[in-house]
């Protein structure tokens, strides 16, 4: 059982930031990655549609006999995780729980800014999870829909990106946040610029790294960690293939991806 692969899915290739973090922490795990590039973005879709897509993504991964599933997409976690957990017996880990735990790991965190897609912000999933755990916390949510396209253009330090970020960050900085939660697969690529713009007194928490840690704890608790000494394999399936997706995959994974296959869900 423990030798079976982990299934990780996202709306596109952004979830490869989570794959990278999982590979760093759990190098022995085989990973089957599904990116629903034919239907990306999920961030602007309705909750019903996101739930239907997420359900189809999970069904696809189950045909690969995976031992556990990671919902690497924040938007899909926000709208579909409870439904998926109820519907399937396989352990399913999302990114929100992990991000919330990472924020709360700092006992001083009292004023948290959350940036994410429109879909994630509209769900208030992070806000609810945080408010339940720490009373009196000030939580400021900000939808930042222009960031995914800017990151996909690789405009990571472009004047236009700085200008967009200034506008998005203004209400958060006015509320004097002490923590900035990056609640989207893509945003880890923007950490250097964000940190420069907000200064180092504000802690940045990204959900990719914390999700890998959370997954490790879950697999260990369930005694499902791969035990082999060899390095795990990664297979990538995308529902639409293009040169642009291959370029992006390399950027998010920070290395040359293995052969990418086109798959149907």
Q: Which residues bind ligand DGL (CB under 6 A)?
A: 10-12, 14, 40-43, 73-75, 117, 120, 148, 184-186
Q: What's the closest the beta carbon of residue 16 comes to ligand DGL, in angstroms?
A: 10
Between 53 and 130, CB nearer to ligand DGL: 53
Is 211 among the residues known to form the active site? no
Between 55 and 178, CB nearer to ligand DGL: 55
Q: What's the closest the beta carbon of residue 15 comes to ligand DGL, in angstroms?
A: 6
Buried-state track 149-172, b at ≥16 Cβ within 10 A, e below 16: ebbbeebeeeeebeebbeebbeeb
Rg (CA), the chain: 18
Is 256 among the residues known to form the active site? no
Among the options 32, 71, 72, 73, which is catalytic?
73
Q: Which of 64, 68, 70, 110 is nearest to 207 (CA)?
A: 70
Between 120 and 179, CB nearer to ligand DGL: 120
For the chain, count helices (H), then strands (E).
Answer: 11, 10
Position closest to ligand DGL via CB: 43
Residue 244 and residue 15: Cα distance in Å, rounded? 16
Q: What's the closest the beta carbon of residue 48 comes to ligand DGL, in angstroms?
A: 16
Q: 254 phi and psi, to 5 degrees?
A: 60, 25
With 0-12 / 13-18 / 19 or more C-beta atoms within 10 angstroms meaning exposed / middle / buried, residue 142 is middle
Between 68 and 115, CB nearer to ligand DGL: 115
Q: What's the closest the beta carbon of residue 114 comes to ligand DGL, in angstroms?
A: 12
| 118, 143 contact by CB (below 8 A) | yes
| 90, 62 contact by CB (below 8 A) | yes
Among the options 80, 100, 130, 184, which is catalytic?
184
Q: List active site positions.
A: 73, 184
């Amino acid at each position: 059982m423990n030798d079976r692969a982990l299934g990780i899915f996202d709306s596109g290739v952004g979830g490869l930031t989570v794959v990278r973090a999982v590979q760093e922490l759990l190098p022995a795990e085989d990973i089957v990655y599904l990116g629903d590039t034919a239907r990306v973005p999920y961030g602007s879709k309705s909750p019903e549609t996101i739930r239907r897509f997420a359900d189809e993504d999970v069904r696809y991964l189950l045909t690969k006999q995976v031992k556990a599933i990671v919902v690497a997409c924040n938007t899909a976690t926000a709208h579909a995780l409870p439904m998926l957990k109820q519907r399937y017996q396989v352990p399913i880990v999302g990114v929100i729980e992990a991000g919330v735990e990472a924020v709360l790991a700092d006992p001083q965190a009292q004023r948290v800014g959350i940036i994410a897609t429109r879909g994630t912000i509209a769900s208030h999933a992070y806000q609810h999870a945080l408010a339940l755990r720490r009373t009196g916390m000030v939580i400021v949510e900000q939808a930042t829909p222009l960031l995914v396209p800017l990151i996909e253009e690789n405009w990571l330090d472009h004047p236009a990106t700085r200008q967009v970020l200034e506008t998005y960050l203004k209400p958060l900085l006015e509320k004097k946040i002490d923590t900035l939660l990056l609640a989207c697969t893509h945003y880890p690529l923007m950490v250097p610029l964000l940190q420069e713009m907000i200064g180092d007194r504000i802690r940045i928490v990204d959900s990719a790294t914390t999700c890998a840690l959370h997954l490790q704890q879950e697999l260990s608790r369930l005694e499902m960690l791969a035990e082999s000494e060899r390095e795990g394999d990664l297979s990538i399936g995308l529902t639409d293939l293009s040169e642009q997706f291959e370029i992006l995959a390399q950027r998010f994974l920070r290395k040359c991806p293995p052969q990418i296959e086109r798959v149907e869900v």
